[in-house]
Amino acid sequence: MSDSPIAVETHGPELRHHFADVEQQRDAASLGMWLFLATEVMFFGGMFCAYLVYRYWHFHEFAAGSRSLDIYLGTINTAVLICSSLTVALGVRAAQMGKQKLLVVYLLLTLVFGLTFLGIKGKEWYDKYEEHHIPGASFNADDIVKEYPQIPINQQYEQTFFSMYFAMTGLHALHMIIGVGLFTVLLYLALKGRYSANYYTPIENAGLYWHFVDIVWIYLFPLLYLIDRKPLK
């Protein structure tokens, strides 16, 4: 980079002139994204902390409630999210290499996996609705109490488990919906040929967001579905 004002004219439109080069511009954008993700860690951290405290207080209710979740759908959904993370990583790679068509394919695949996750999650929520396991006036956990006579279960605290379940999976699903929205915009812009090997910052940062949401689920899955699956004594 030269200090001559003429040098300003030599870079492409993707480089803002207050950055020395595209690499510095990319590093700055990426650092900003990581700072945002750090605030997201604290955002979800509060929920995880509340979950830990209530689980410590009402372990039996949390264990029984966890066993009522569909572990197969939960495991499949974990796998779906991991697949979507792979397509995001490969999409960023395609963008780095300037392969625009490949990028479009991976963005589409990511959207398909993301929507599959949300569909399966919706099915799980609907099952809970049918079982009257949604906290509120029509909440009824008689089926859980009957299924585990060896566990002392207080229905009030059982409701606490499902409140945590819906709050945490709901907040995660909201992040997924935002992610799907982001990737739809990226797909539109990628189809218009907006991204190149020189400029793919939005792809990379949306990718970081998507991976973060995947990591949140990586912790939600064992904490909600796998608390106490071992055979009861």
Partner 1 sequence: MSERILSSKLYIGIWATLMCLTVITAVVSFVDLGPFNTVVALVIATIKASLVVLFFMHVRYTHERMTKVVIVAAFFFLLLLLALSMADYTTRFLA
Residue 125: CB partners within 8 Å, gap ≥ 6? 166, 169
State the minimum distance, in angstroms, from the CB of residue 140 to partner 1.
Answer: 27
Contact 143, 127 (CB under 8 A): no
Per DSSP, helices labelled H in 97-154 are 100-130, 142-147
Site string for partner 1, 10-29 (x = CB under 8 A): -------------x--xx--
Is residue 95 a contact partner of residue 160, using CB atoms and an 8 Å limit? no
Instruction: Please give the C-alpha separations between residue 7 and each of 2, 4, 220, in angstroms, as whole numbers.
Output: 6, 6, 51
Site for partner 1 in 26-55 (CB under 8 A): 26-27, 30-31, 34-35, 37-38, 41-42, 45-46, 48-49, 52-53
188/204 Cα distance (integer angstroms) = 16
Question: 140 or 223, CB closer to partner 1?
Answer: 223
In angstroms, the CA 185 to CA 209 distance is 14
* Stretch 194-213: interaction string toward partner 1, x if CB under 8 A: ----------x--xx--x--
Q: Binding residues for partner 1, per CB under 8 A?
A: 23, 26-27, 30-31, 34-35, 37-38, 41-42, 45-46, 48-49, 52-53, 56-57, 71, 75, 78-79, 82-83, 85-86, 88-90, 93, 96-97, 204, 207-208, 211, 214-215, 218-219, 221-223, 225-231
